Structure formats: structure tokens, C-alpha cells
Amino acid sequence: MSENQNGKIQFRGLHTLTGTLELVTGLHIGAGRERVEIGGLDGPVIKHPHTHEPYIPGSSLKGKLRCLLEWALNAVQDDGLPFGSNAERDYGDHPILRLFGCASKKWRYGPTRLVVRDAFLDRGWVQRIINAGLTLTEEKTEVVIDRLQGKAAGNIGPRTMERIPAGARIPLGNDDPRVRGERGRWRQRPPGHRVACHRAQAARARRAGRLRLARLRTGPLHRPHP
């Protein structure tokens, strides 16, 4: 982040990044459980407390984006902790830390640039599902297979997981603030947008979904009022 003659950060404006997540397979966005019920779900998805519809929290999206960009830009640390989390280390200037922030006491390049909003289901898709008499989530049962007997292992499972089904569409809209001196820094789409799709498809966790990122656009720069 550049500074003016007084050494103060100057805000230039705000870009809005928009797009749509299209689920190719079911997606599980985990939620904690307050209690365990016999016959209940082992892994429910997070739902909005008022509409009871599943959604993706902005913090989950932002954390995943940061993790994937660390892999894409070769910034993964040996200890496995987030890049920029060491309060005593001098990381210098780095695009990941400009976007997501840095915990180092020696960081002098300003606050986080990226604001990621909660992502909700596309209203048209929701209405089509409701009109068809279907539900907005599906349940998937998992078991651990005994390798020798070829059947479910004793005392393990089955476990029932909840997912947003394939075909769901989730619009995205995130804010990308700009400051003076950074105009050319973000012209090219970061490699993480491709890595995000590929790694989500790799699905390290068995219930992680495969997705497609479509219609990714950067809106015009909205300048602050004088």
C-alpha cells in the first residue's frame, strides 16, 4: 500500500467481484450440533436462522480462498499455519497479505483489501426446487468398509451427512477495495480462481463438493464521495 506525503493511506475506491458457483456434485458446508439425536444427521449443513436455507458463510469462502492462494503462490508454511500469522516475522510486501491481512507487528502495508460476503442460494433455483416439491438439501450415508470382509466395519457408522445437491447455483458478490498506487496490481485475475476450482474438485474430504465458477466479473471502480 502506498502512502501520501503525510504518510497516510488513501482509499481510491471499491471494485465488486461477481460470479456464480455452480455445484457439479453435492456440497457440504458443515455446521456444529448442539445435541446428538438418535437417527439424526451426523453432519448437518449450516442454515440461515430465519429462512432455514443453506448458505456459504463469507468467512468460510475467504478462508478457503486464502488457503488455495497460498498453494498457488507457493506460500504454504512448514508448520501448516496461515501465511502471515506469525506476529514476530517480517513478511515484507506480499499480494496474499495485502488481500487478506497480516498478523505481523512489522506489517506496514495497510489493512486487508478483500471483503467476502455470505453467499446465498439463487432465488430462481430455490423457487424451481420448491415448485417441484423437492428439498434444498440431500442426505448421504457413509460407512467404513472392512477391507477383508467387504462389508461395513463393526461399530463404525453408518454416518449421515447433509449436502446441498448438485445443480444448485450460488451467486457471489465480494468487495475489493483499491488504494492509491495499486491500479496495476490486480489487473490480472489471480491464479487462485483456477486453483480453487481444481482443489475443490480434488475433494480432500469425501463430502467436499465439486464446483464450477462461472461468469466471474469485475465491476467498475466506485470512487468515494469527496
pLDDT tens-digit map of 123-134: 999 999 999 999
First to last CA, the chain: 21
* Whether the predicted pLDDT of 48 surpasses 90: yes
User: In this structure, what DSSP letter does residue 96 have?
Assistant: H
Contacts of 35 (CB under 8 A, 6+ apart): none
* Whether the predicted pLDDT of 106 surpasses 50: yes
Rounded-to-integer distance, Cα 68 and Cα 75, Å: 10
Average pLDDT score over residue span 180-199: 49
Rounded-to-integer distance, Cα 117 and Cα 60, Å: 10
Rounded-to-integer distance, Cα 31 and Cα 40, Å: 14
pLDDT value for 222: 80
Residue with the larger pLDDT of the pair 34 and 46: 46
Residue 76: burial class (beta carbons within 10 Å; 0-12, 13-18, 19+): middle
pTM for the structure as a whole:
0.78
Tens-place pLDDT, residues 3-13: 544 557 777 88
Report residue 164 as a C-alpha cell. Answer: 446441498
- Residues 25-43, buried b or exposed e (16+ Cβ, 10 A)? bbbbbeeeeeeeeeeebeb
Q: Is the peptide bond before 111 cis (omega within 30 degrees of 0)?
A: no
